[in-house]
Chains A and B, each alone.
Chain A
């Protein structure tokens, strides 16, 4: 499985934008880039996903590098509820039911 690397932790101030980076230099052409976040003692929550083009939804934006070897999750205005562990994973739509390997993620702290 292609791996992703993320910073262990990041801090942000409330109501400021947050850019969470993810490197996936061994990404294959059939890998989708997915982002999830997890609050303590809860299952992960889907945030956004994309293949090649940048994506926007009500929660966040996903910026994908032209060579697809990195991506950035953008929270436009961080709130205290956005404090969580954010996981960037690759999901291969072509093999083995699209199973995904979770890395260590980035723990986002939001300061009031």
Chain B
């Protein structure tokens, strides 16, 4: 149980393109989803917390107009990287958890984004 599916697993696109990444909880309802980015040989950096039906809460330094997050249902959150540039190239990972905050997060397999 507790499977999180993230799609696509890899994206290569030209500078200026907008890219959408989907995160789905397959067998549980996720009232909260988290989006992280990870650079090579570094730890995960939390970008934003997404709650179903409300606006995402962004961490300091993360541009909300650059990284659009939508959590329209209890099983789906999307991250759109708008007008992506090479510096946005990174490994993006989502996680989901149920409403009880002490419970573990369940992570997707990540999306490798490469902007040319």
Residues of A within 8 A of B (CB): 32, 34, 36, 41-46, 49, 51, 87, 91-94, 96-105
Contacts and interface: CB of A to CB of B under 8 A. Distances in A.
B112 A41 contact: yes
A44 B91 CA distance: 12
19 contacts: A36-B105, A41-B91, A41-B110, A42-B109, A43-B6, A43-B93, A43-B94, A43-B110, A44-B44, A44-B93, A44-B105, A46-B106, A49-B102, A91-B105, A97-B31, A97-B101, A102-B43, A103-B43, A105-B43
Interface residues of B, number: 32
Summarize B's interface: helix, strand, loop or mixed.
Answer: strand
A97 B109 contact: no
Interface of B: 2, 4, 6, 31-32, 34, 36, 42-46, 49, 51, 57, 91, 93-95, 97, 100-110, 112
A43 B112 CA distance: 11
Contacts of B108: 43
Given A87-B43, A97-B51, A99-B34, A46 B104 contact: yes
